[in-house]
Amino acid sequence: MQPPTLHVRRPAWVEDFQAFIMRGNVVDLAVGIIIGAAFTTIVNSLVKDVFNPLIGLVLGGIDFSNIFVTLKGQPQPTLAAAQAAGAVTLNVGVFLNAVIQFLIVAFVVFWIVRVLNRLYRHPPAPAEPAPPPPQEVLLTEIRDLLAARATPLPPAR
């Protein structure tokens, strides 16, 4: 003899949630976020380790991350030292790094979209509709002439 089985009914919202999660655009969004996070790491390194040293070299050895204004507290030679001392700082260089990073990301996304648009094969434009056959044109003209010649019926009394 088998023990009785206990059937637990799932709430209706569980099925709705499962259907929502399995939609293609939700999965695509999740994949895009994951790839975007990985791409951000690459861009951060590109800005911090490649572009900023080159720009700093061209501008005379300026390190952007250490461009800051001390608003309150003792002035320090570096941003890290000022933050460690508890000074209130206006971090102009960190903002410049963020702007440069944004421009690089925007430029790369622009080129990716441009290349993908060229690779995507657009469907051919629909052909012009064929002109109607001459018989149809004549019948249309006859119909229009008859409609123009028809005299309206007198109003009913």
Name the burial class of residue 104, with classes exposed (0-12), middle (13-18) and buried (19+) by CB atoms within 10 angstroms of its CB: middle
In a domain, 101, yes or no: yes
Whether pLDDT at 157 is above 80: no
Number of independent structural domains in the chain: 1
Whether pLDDT at 128 is above 80: yes
Domain limits for position 108 = 12-64+92-121
Residues 66/79, Cβ–Cβ less than 8 Å:
yes
In a domain, 22, yes or no: yes
In a domain, 135, yes or no: no
SS3 annotation, 7-59: CCCCCHHHHHHHHHHCCHHHHHHHHHHHHHHHHHHHHHHHHHHHHHHHHHHHC
Element (H, E) at 109: helix 92-119
pTM above 0.75? no
pLDDT digits (tens, 9 = 90+) for 63-115: 778 888 988 988 888 888 988 999 999 999 889 888 887 887 788 778 878 88
In a domain, 19, yes or no: yes
Nearest to 69 by CA among 95, 48, 44: 95
In a domain, 36, yes or no: yes
In a domain, 74, yes or no: no
Nearest to 49 by CA among 104, 124, 3: 104
Structure tokens at 157: 């009394």
pLDDT tier, 154 (very low <50, low <70, confident <90, very high otherwise): low
| DSSP code at position 69 | E
In a domain, 111, yes or no: yes
